Amino acid sequence: MLTRLSVPFRLPTPRPVCSARYLNSSSHSISPSPTTFVSYLRNCKSLRELKRIHARVFRAGLEQHENVLNKLVAFCADPSHGDLRLAEHVFAHARDPSLFVYNVVIKALAKSGEFEKAVSVFRKLRERGLSPDNFTYPYVLKAIGCLGALEEGEKVHGYVVKSGLEFDAYVGNSLVDMYAELGRTASMERVFDEMPDRDVVSWNVVISGHVRRRRFDDAVGVFKRMLVESNARPDEATVVSMLSACTALKLLKLGKEIHDYVNKELICTSIISNALLDMYSKCGHLDVAREIFDEMPTKNVICWTSMISGYVNCGQLDEARELFDRSPVKDIVLWTAMINGYVQFNRFDEAIDLFRELQARRIKPDKFTTVALLTGCAQCGALEQGKWIHGYIDENGIQLDAVVGTALIDMYAKCGRIDEALKIFYRWKIHDTASWTSIICGLAMNGRTGEALNMFVQMRDYGFKPDDVTFIGVLSACSHGGLVKEGRQLFSLMTETYGIVPKVEHYGCMIDLLGRVGLLDEAEKLIEKVPTENDEIAIPLYGALLSACRLHGNINMGKRMAERLVKMEFNDSSIHTLLASIYASANRWEDVARVRSKMEDLGIKKSPGCSSIEVNGIIHEFIVGDPSCPEMYDVCFMLDKMMYLLVGSEESKMG
């Protein structure tokens, strides 16, 4: 007698058809059905197998079957195991592809950076009379944003509105992101404000959009709105964007509050840790930054760079170098950060040594490395070293773009080789505002006033808009040339035509110009008009006028300027030295003695003068009263010999 089974009966699970085995067989005379091909594609594991399936689909005449085509294109477009070129080929030969196929191809093209193709496929979709959906628009809008195609973006925005999808969260966020990428802040905010339902992604898109456009105050404002108006909780993306804003604005208090929120509400990922590290280091709190750095379980090159850059920015180069030497992985960004630190703090020899070590390790420098070195050459007048770096740029095929070209022009100009700077400028075919500004400033500092002003005229004729630095260059040229009328005209042009708010450097150029030609009263009145938030801004202006008082022997004004500087607690030796020189030029020796006595009482010593010279690529610096120079004996001997020869020559002429 049969007993009933206590365990429920189940049919055995059928094994999937092995597509590769079937495709390798030539014995099958019956073509598989569309369902079978879809099954093959579902179980496909490699590109080689995919191509075989595609060949069998083609031979079976099923390449136009909707289900097969959908699955085939989707599999081909998958970046993990597909082939985008094959997906494009299949799509191009499809007679009547579905909206699904269009969406798959647009998405794949946009994600692979082929933005123009993605937009082109979208146009074909519309030409065929298909209606894009909420899966179509996000990737089209992404492509348009990356292309910077504002007109196309506004057109697609119109299609979105007509289709009634503007209130779809996914599409709305994509519209906001597109306008952020295009730099259209007003449009971005308008779309965002019109969204009925704003999730954390919506807020993040606007905040990151402001951060990308360096509108950090606006980013902070939107973040505060998010906390008040929304139930959305800040996530990793919110935190990273806001820490970037805090870093730029030096908002340490807000940064600490965000840090506390992370500790309470989020998992501190490596991305957040890097952002916190960067924020604390750039805000000068290296102790906290170092704690975060030391506690990170795994340290990537980004966190090493942030920590080292933090030490560099605070002038702690030895600590930066110690960490640099410990770093297990060094990319070119890290090398450049350390080299730039040495340049920034005038340790040029160490910058060059580190650059040579980089070369010895066969690490290829990028343009930013060479620009850092060129900046160092410009600062210390190291012409031979600058020429060597220029040769290195040419020999290694580093492109002469705006960054490199401007650095070369600046280096040659500051080393007194303005004609070399001009050669580079004219050899360089594509210019921008920075390159024009660089050559104008170079001509000005080398006393070629007329050429600097002519270059400024050419710049405007070619349609380039001068910026605040350009006007510093042309006003400086006017100052060197004593061109008061032209200086006044340019100052008015800057403020009235270009709407540039004058900075202390612009006022300094004008005061120096007026002071050179003896218009001291006008210069003093101009200083009084300068909107100064603190005394530090006014100090260089009063200093420039004090120098002009010495030049023209105006004792009363010079004394007044010196007293103002002392009231500002600026007790630099240069003030008292200039005032003593003014008294000495008027033979008021008692006043000279009084000023020097006051310097002694205040413990103020005149800073020793120094000069430098480059010999065989090595910078030699000489400081007044410093006997430690190893070549001091030889230098003094040579000077005595030269003086003897000069005196002997003069006596022979007189005899």
Alpha carbon distances (Å) from 554 to 557, 561, 572, 590:
6, 11, 21, 17
pLDDT band at residue 20 using 50, 70 and 90 as cut-offs: very low
In contact, 631 and 620? CB cutoff 8 Å: yes
- What would the mean pLDDT of 20-44 be, rounded to a whole number? 49
> In the numeric block, which tokens belong to residue 165?
């999808």
- Pair 489, 522: CB distance under 8 Å: no
Domain spanning 98-197: which superfamily? Tetratricopeptide repeat domain (1.25.40.10)
- CA 153 vs CA 92, 107, 163, 169: distances in Å: 25, 17, 15, 18
For residue 275, pLDDT over 90 is answered with yes
Q: Round the average pLDDT of the chain to a whole number and report it.
A: 80
The mean pLDDT of 241-247, rounded to a whole number, is 95
Exposure on the CB side of residue 131, measured as CA atoms within 13 A:
8
CA dist., res. 605 & res. 572, Å (int)? 9
Give the type of residue at 598: K
Other Cβ atoms less than 10 A from the Cβ of 34: the count is 16
**In the block, residue with structure tokens 């004004």:** 557
Give pLDDT tens digits for 96-132. Answer: 888 988 888 899 889 888 899 999 989 998 998 889 9
What is d(CA 41, CA 54) in angstroms, rounded to the nearest whole number?
9
Is the pLDDT confidence value at 81 over 80?
Answer: no
Q: What distance, in Å, lies between the first and last C-alpha atoms of the chain?
A: 151
C-alpha to C-alpha distances, 400 to 131, 408, 443, 576, nearest whole angstrom: 47, 9, 21, 47
Show the tokens assigned to 542: 């009063």
- Residue 35: the pLDDT is 57
The percent of residues above 90 in pLDDT, for the chain, comes to 38
Model pLDDT, residue 646: 67
Q: For residue 310, what is the DSSP state? A: H
Give 565-609 pLDDT, tens digit per residue: 666 655 556 666 666 666 666 566 766 676 566 656 555 455 544
pLDDT at 391 over 70: yes
Q: What is the pLDDT of residue 410?
A: 92
CA dihedral of residues 405, 407, 409, 410 (deg, nearest 10): 160
CA distance 107 to 434: 38
Nearest to 503 by CA among 472, 474, 476, 477: 472
Q: Which of 161-170, 449-458, 507-516 has the highest mean pLDDT?
A: 449-458
Confidence of residue 172 (pLDDT cuts 50, 70, 90): very high
Which residue type does 133 have? D
Residue 363 is predicted with a pLDDT of: 87
Pairing mode, if any, of strands 618-623 and 610-615? antiparallel
Q: SS3 helix, strand, coil % of the chain, rounded to 5?
A: 70, 0, 30
**How far apart are the C-alpha atoms of 564 and 567, rounded to whole Å?**
5
The C-alpha angle 110, 112, 116, rounded to 5 degrees, equals 45
Q: Is the pLDDT of residue 315 over 50?
A: yes
Q: DSSP H helical segments within 6-114, as ranges? A: 19-24, 34-42, 47-59, 66-77, 84-92, 99-111
* Local structure of residue 241 (DSSP, 8 states): H
pLDDT in tens, 149-160: 999 999 999 999
What pLDDT score does 299 carry? 87
- Kindly indicate the confidence band of residue 6, based on its pLDDT and cuts at 50, 70 and 90: very low
What are the residue boundaries of the structural domains of the chain, listed by start? 18-23+31-70+80-89, 98-197, 525-607, 608-650
Which of the four pLDDT bands, split at 50, 70 and 90, describes residue 29? very low
Would the pLDDT of 14 be above 70? no
Q: What is the pLDDT of residue 492?
A: 93
Residue 428: band (very low, low, confident or very high) from pLDDT cuts 50, 70, 90:
confident
23 in Cβ contact with 49 (< 8 Å): yes
Looking at 447-554, list the stretches that DSSP marks H as alpha helix, in order from N- to C-terminal side.
449-461, 468-481, 484-492, 504-516, 520-529, 535-552
The distance from CA 563 to its chain's CA centroid, rounded to whole angstroms, is: 42
Residue-wise pLDDT for 505-528, tens only, equals: 898 899 889 888 889 888 888 887
Between the ranges 67-71, 169-173, 242-246, where is the mean pLDDT highest? 242-246
pLDDT given at position 44: 56
- Note whether 169 and 195 are within 8 A (CB): yes
Whole-angstrom distance, CA of residue 124 vs CA of residue 571? 74
Q: Is 80 exceeded by the pLDDT of residue 54?
A: no
In terms of pLDDT, which residue wins out, 365 or 40? Answer: 365
- Tell me the C-alpha distance between 542 and 360, whole Å: 50
**Distance (Å, rounded) from C-alpha 63 to C-alpha 51?**
13
Does the pLDDT value for residue 302 go beyond 70? Answer: yes
State residue 483's pLDDT score.
Answer: 93
DSSP-derived secondary structure for 575-603: HHHHHHHHHHHTT-HHHHHHHHHHHHHTT
Residue owning tokens 């933005």: 115
At 518, list the tokens.
């003896």
At 10 the pLDDT is 42
Please compute the mean of the pLDDT values over residues 60-80 and round it to a whole number. Answer: 63
Please list the residues that pair with 615 across neighbouring strands: 618
SS3 (DSSP) at 340: helix
Q: Lowest-confidence range among 154-158, 483-487, 645-649?
A: 645-649
pLDDT of residue 1 exceeding 50, the answer is: no
Reported confidence tier of residue 56, pLDDT bands at 50, 70, 90: low
Phi, psi of 391 (to 5 degrees): -60, -40
Cα dist. 93→58, 69, 610, 627, 635 in Å?
11, 11, 77, 85, 84
pLDDT digits (tens, 9 = 90+) for 327-364: 988 899 999 999 999 998 988 889 888 988 988 898 88
Q: Which two tokens stand for residue 533?
A: 């938030």
